[in-house]
Amino acid sequence: MSGRFILADLGIVTALGRGRDETERRMFAGDTSGMRRMEGVLPEGETTMFGYAERPAGTTRVGALVDEAMRQLQPAIEGLGAAPERIGAVVGTSNSTMEEFTENPDRIDMAYPAERIRDRWNVKGPAWTVSTACSSSGKTFASARRLLESGLCDAVVVGGADAMTRVVVNGFNALEATSPNLTRPLAADRAGINLGEGAALFLMLPGSSPFHPFTSSSVSLLGVGESSDAHHLTAPDPEGKGAEAAMRAALADAGLAPEDIDYINLHGTGTTYNDSMECAAVRRVFGDRVPASSTKPLTGHALGAAGAIEAALCWLALRSGRGVPPHVVANVDRELAPFPVPEVGNTIAAKTALSNSFAFGGSNASVILGVA
């Protein structure tokens, strides 16, 4: 990677709440109260939990989430003084407007999240949406960085947004991948995922930007790694070869060694196969040294927004210096996950964090953030 890229500010809305302060407070407290039982969506007699985000009414679900994150980010954008034509937007999504257009699939607009930012928030530079299922918003960081490296933009709004969609919830349920209760990543009795919704949008700038001087507290994008193992349409490679390749690529991109990473935010879906392959891949790359947790019991699996949301939780932890995002599931399977698993109240000092996002079809992304 050439140079340093600053993640200067963040707008976020998830089951953990709205805004940086509420999200940080509830994350460190291990607050799972935003995960609620889903009613009237699955077939009679079946149930699951879902991470609902508080959002205003009056527009599409994903549009409301984008607007909430942009409302928080707008002061920083306006404070830049950059020309609107020099500010881009790259947003990951998996569902986009699918909930509104379930009855008419021809009208699903996968480009909608980035288009909404361009049309409503005075961001007039290059704008597009990335949709690679659960790795979508992890991959946006590489795309946004290229816009800055090429000189096409002075700043980029980058992240992800995804909303509750009944057809997708039922699809995961049909795959027997959903848990009827709160998801339990890394536990021997894990029974599947809980889905969720939300948006996390960063303002990314080059480190040499005249609009935002680099400081010792700035959180930077250090590296991005991507891979595509194409093992199966929905199942991960059981050995985690694609996951391993993405993590090693991120380390190489950042110019870091495995021992330079202080914390790993796992993809950690709580399914038997994902957790097994991911833990195996993590151990091959990092051994048993690096603390790792899954934050999906706090937010749900927000699919195309998950990569950005979990990068945002890392961003909040790195800025605060209070610790790393906790793992709130008891009775971790130590044979599966022999590495340190941080609990609520941990004070682990982290300067670097790696966040994993692994998707259907073997589309994988790992992102490394750091503070000076």
Whether 151 and 238 map to the same domain: the answer is no
- Domain of residue 286 covers 221-371
308-317: per-residue pLDDT in tens?
A: 999 999 999 9
Q: Please name which of 343, 357, 351, 212 lies closest in space to residue 278, comparing C-alpha atoms.
A: 357
Does some domain include residue 71?
A: yes
Please check whether residues 173 and 286 belong to one and the same domain.
Answer: no
Q: Could you tell me if 175 and 280 lie in one domain?
A: no
Kindly tell me if the per-residue pLDDT of 192 is higher than 70.
Answer: yes
pLDDT tens by residue, 285-314: 999 999 999 999 999 999 999 999 999 999
216 within a domain of the structure (yes/no): no
Q: What is the pLDDT of residue 171?
A: 93
Cβ–Cβ under 8 Å, residues 55 and 68: yes
Same domain, 55 and 139: yes
Res 217 pLDDT > 70: no
**In this structure, are 166 and 257 located in the same domain?**
no
Domain-ending residue, one of 206, 240, 261: 206
Q: Annotated catalytic sites, by residue?
A: 134, 267, 301
Q: Is 191 inside a domain boundary? A: yes
Is the pLDDT at 214 greater than 90? The verdict is no
One domain for residues 31 and 71: yes
pLDDT tens sequence across 338-353: 999 999 999 999 999 9
* Cα separation, 252 vs 335, whole angstroms: 29
Tell me, yes or no, whether 36 and 160 share the same domain. yes
Q: Using one digit for the tens of pLDDT, what is the confidence trace for 233-273?
A: 777 888 999 999 999 999 999 999 999 999 999 999 999 99
pLDDT value of position 99: 80
What does the DSSP 8-state code read for residue 182?
S
Are residues 187 and 277 located together in one domain of the fold? no
If asked whether residues 287 and 198 sit together in one domain, one would say: no
Task: Give yes or no: residues 193 and 77 share one domain.
Answer: yes
Given 151, 176, 206, the domain boundary residue is 206
Do 314 and 166 lie in a common domain?
A: no
Q: What percent of the chain has pLDDT over 70?
A: 95
> Is the pLDDT confidence value at 211 over 90?
no
Greater model confidence, 50 or 98: 50
- The mean of the pLDDT values for the chain is 93
Q: Answer for the pair 314, 31: CB distance below 8 angstroms, yes or no.
A: no
Judge whether 273 lies within some domain. yes
Return the CATH number at 56.
Answer: 3.40.47.10
- Establish how many alpha carbons lie within 13 A of residue 269's alpha carbon, considering only the half-sphere containing its beta carbon: 28
Asked if the structure places residue 213 within a domain, the reply is no
Q: Does residue 215 belong to any structural domain of this protein?
A: no
CB 269 within 8 Å of CB 19: no
Pick the closest to residue 134 from 89, 95, 186 (CA basis): 95
Contacts of 25 (CB under 8 A, 6+ apart): none
Query: What pLDDT score was predicted for residue 106?
Result: 64
pLDDT at 215: 55
Residue 214 lies in a domain: no
Give the CA angle between residues 193, 198, 201 to the nearest 5°: 130
Query: Residue 31 falls within a domain, yes or no?
Result: yes
Mean pLDDT of 3-20: 94
Of the pLDDT bands very low, low, confident and very high (cuts 50, 70, 90), residue 2 is: very low
Res. 231 pLDDT band, cuts 50 70 90: confident
So what's the pLDDT on residue 1? 45
**Domain count within the chain:** 2
Q: What is the pLDDT of residues 101-135, one digit of tens each?
A: 666 666 678 899 999 999 999 999 999 999 999 99
Domain termination residue (choose one: 206, 229, 259): 206
174 shares a domain with 225 = no
Mean predicted confidence (pLDDT) in 320-342: 97
- Band the pLDDT of 161: cuts 50, 70, 90: very high
At residue 173, the 3 state secondary structure works out as: helix
